[in-house]
């Protein structure tokens, strides 16, 4: 009997009966690969209940967590590692994913028990060389260079380790599937095997995932849906700082942030990231504004810099780093219409310093004042922080977590804040002066003068 085959997109997982040059699902060209059809993975019974019962009758138990030994990793995980969880860690090649998980494995081996470290990209000798360099040697770390997921599953059941690390999911393969490792079918089936193992044995599993040139996780999107937590390890390889960003978490906040610094002996945690991003701030210089951003539950003070200059071409340039370029274009339109700044014939460059990415609306006013400051060649007031969302009509809208932001600013010595209307008690926050503004025109006058 002839084996049935299908053509699966290696980007989005869309399947068709025949080959097509362009994927109907995501529009990617030449991404359909012929694969042998396999039976779907076995279902996982997450609860022993056989019949529906009222939610009020379900026994409520507090989640058990244990520390990984890295406080920044625990923060990104929502407070610690949950037994039976499936955690996916993605990032660019050479950014430090393996180093991070090897340090976490050493800490877990010291405090919890045996950790099984499976590598499909490196030999056991190479892993030991890295462990010696970062001082992560421990007899409870068991190394295995293997890509066959059935062999890995058998060893997990035999050893019953406290945690498992698989580096990486794109190198694992299921022998029953004829497609190559890293394909949609292989990634989906191997992840399904590890999910059944994690849920059935309550053993937490870390997966390392590759990313595409666009910065997203390689493989089908179903991979992110299957796991419990998705972490992105970001940073410039030419700089020493790394950011561990949570984009999905079933056991905590999906907007947490962990900060690390890469050294020769491994990753070290940054306990005061605001001081890191503020260490070389350009005080008294036009185009520089400080914004207290809120990433999850952590307030961060970040410097926003802007440079506005006359355009030498017919079409002005709009370039950004760390902030949304579409949001910057919108704010510039509001400045031109509501404040009267003639920016249409000027180039604009906006950057969030320190390599951090800011995507919350609370940074709108800081971007607007940085652009206005550079355009007018007037610096903002000294020791001033700025926050607020800018509307299309020029109004300054309220933001969440205002008290946390102001407390962080006061802790770093800032004496005043420019922001939206706020009716709460603020005597105990340490902010000497809170300047309330209702429109972007008022904000520009308050920060730069007439």
- For the stretch 286-312, pLDDT in tens is 999 999 999 878 888 999 999 999 988
Query: Which pLDDT value is given to residue 392?
Result: 95
Average of pLDDT values for 404-431?
A: 78
| pLDDT at 254 > cutoff 70 | yes
Are the beta carbons of 293 and 299 closer than 8 angstroms?
yes
DSSP structure class, residue 185: H
Strands 384-386 and 416-419: parallel
| pLDDT recorded at residue 304 | 94
| Coil, helix or strand at residue 386 | strand
CA separation, residue 322 to residues 235, 280, 304 (Å): 11, 17, 9
91 is in an annotated binding site: yes
Give the end-to-end CA distance of the chain in Å, rounded to a whole number: 83
b/e sequence 293-319, b meaning 16+ C-beta within 10 Å: bbbbebbbbbbbbbbbeeeeeeebebe
C-alpha span between 198 and 211 (Å, rounded) = 24
Report the length, in residues, of the chain. 450
**Does the pLDDT value for residue 50 go beyond 90?**
no
To the question of whether residue 97 is assigned a binding role by annotation, the answer is: yes
What SS3 string covers 89-148? EEECCCCCHHHHHHHHHHHHHHHCCCEEEEECCCCHHHHHHHHHHCCCCCCCEEEEECCE
Burial label for 47, CB within 10 Å (0-12, 13-18, 19+), is exposed
pLDDT tens profile 54-108: 988 877 666 688 899 899 999 999 989 999 999 999 988 889 999 999 999 999 9
User: Which of the following CATH numbers is that of domain 276-448: 3.20.20.140, 3.30.70.20, 3.40.50.10490, 3.30.230.10?
Assistant: 3.30.230.10
Question: 376 in helix, strand or coil?
Answer: helix
Which residues face 368 on adjacent strands? none
93 annotated ligand-binding residue: yes
pLDDT at 3 over 70: no
Q: What is the spatial distance between Cα 365 and Cα 377, in angstroms, rounded to a whole number?
A: 18
- Name, of 9-13, 39-43, 68-72, 232-236, the range with top average pLDDT: 68-72
Domain ranges of the chain: 5-36, 66-271, 276-448
- Structure pTM? 0.79
**% of the chain exceeding 90 in pLDDT:** 53
Q: Check residue 388 and give its pLDDT.
A: 96
Tell whether 419 is in a known binding site.
no
**More confident call, 388 vs 42:** 388
Q: Hey, is 311 helix, strand or coil?
A: coil
Architecture of the structural domain at 66-271: 3-Layer(aba) Sandwich (3.40)
Mean pLDDT of the chain: 87
**Would you tell me how many other CB atoms lie within 10 Å of the CB of residue 80?**
17
**Over 60: is that where the pLDDT of 199 sits?**
yes
**pLDDT tens for residues 348-405?**
999 998 778 898 999 999 999 999 999 999 999 888 999 999 999 999 999 998 888 9
Is residue 176 pLDDT above 90, yes or no? no
Which letter does DSSP use for residue 428 in this model?
A: G
Per-residue pLDDT band at 150 (split at 50, 70, 90) = very high
Please give the average per-residue pLDDT across 270-278, as a whole number. Answer: 78
The whole-number pLDDT of residue 356 equals: 83
What per-residue confidence (pLDDT) applies to 295?
A: 83
341 within 8 A of 381, measured Cβ to Cβ:
no
Residues 349, 366: Cα–Cα separation, whole Å: 14
Written as one string, the DSSP assignment of 46-88 is: -----S---GGGSPP-PPP-B--S-HHHHHHTTSSBPTT-EEE
pLDDT for 274 equals 80
Give the whole-number percent of the chain exceeding pLDDT 70. Answer: 89
Of the listed ranges 183-192, 208-217, 246-255, the least confidently predicted one is 208-217
Residue 1: band (very low, low, confident or very high) from pLDDT cuts 50, 70, 90: very low
pLDDT confidence of 450, banded at 50, 70, 90? low
pLDDT for 272: 80
Q: Is the model's pLDDT at 335 over the cut of 90?
A: yes
């Amino acid at each position: 009997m002839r084996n049935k085959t299908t053509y699966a997109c290696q980007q989005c997982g869309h399947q068709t009966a025949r080959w097509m040059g362009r994927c109907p699902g995501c529009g990617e060209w030449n991404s359909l690969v012929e694969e042998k059809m396999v039976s779907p993975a076995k279902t996982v019974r997450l609860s022993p209940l056989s019949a529906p019962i009222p939610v009020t009758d379900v026994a409520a138990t507090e989640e058990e967590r244990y520390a990984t030994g890295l406080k920044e990793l625990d923060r990104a995980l929502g407070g610690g590692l949950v037994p039976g969880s499936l955690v996916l860690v993605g990032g660019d090649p050479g950014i430090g994913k393996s180093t991070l998980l090897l340090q976490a494995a050493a800490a877990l081996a010291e405090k919890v028990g045996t950790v099984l470290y499976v590598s499909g990209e490196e030999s056991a000798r190479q892993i030991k060389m890295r462990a010696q360099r970062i001082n992560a040697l421990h007899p409870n770390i068991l190394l295995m260079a293997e890509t066959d997921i059935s062999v890995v599953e058998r060893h997990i059941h035999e050893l019953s380790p406290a945690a498992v690390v698989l580096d990486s999911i794109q190198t694992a393969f299921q022998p029953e599937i004829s497609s190559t490792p890293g394909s949609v079918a292989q990634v989906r089936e191997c992840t399904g095997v590890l999910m059944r193992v994690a849920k059935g044995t309550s053993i937490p599993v870390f997966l390392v995932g590759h990313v595409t040139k666009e910065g997203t996780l390689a493989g089908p999107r179903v991979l992110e849906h299957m796991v419990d937590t998705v972490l992105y390890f970001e940073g410039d390889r030419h700089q020493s700082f790394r950011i561990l960003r949570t984009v999905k978490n079933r056991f905590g906040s999906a907007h947490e942030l962990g900060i690390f610094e890469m050294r020769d002996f491994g990753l070290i945690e940054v306990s005061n990231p605001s001081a890191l991003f503020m260490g070389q701030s350009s005080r008294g210089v036009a185009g520089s504004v400080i914004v207290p951003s809120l990433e999850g539950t952590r307030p961060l003070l970040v410097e926003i810099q802007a440079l506005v200059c006359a355009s030498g071409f017919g079409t002005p340039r709009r370039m950004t780093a760390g902030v949304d370029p579409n949001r910057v274009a919108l704010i510039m339109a509001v400045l031109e219409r509501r404040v009267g700044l003639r920016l249409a014939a000027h180039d604009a460059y906006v950057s969030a310093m320190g390599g951090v990415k800011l995507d919350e609306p609370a940074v709108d006013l800081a971007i607007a004042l940085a652009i206005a400051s550079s355009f007018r060649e007037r610096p903002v007031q000294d020791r001033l922080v700025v926050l607020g969302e800018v509307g299309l009509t020029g109004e300054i809208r309220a933001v969440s977590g205002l008290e946390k932001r102001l407390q962080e600013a006061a802790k770093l010595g800032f004496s005043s804040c420019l922001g939206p209307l706020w009716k709460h008690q603020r005597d105990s926050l340490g902010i000497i002066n809170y300047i309330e503004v209702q429109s972007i025109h008022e904000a520009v006058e308050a920060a730069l003068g007439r």
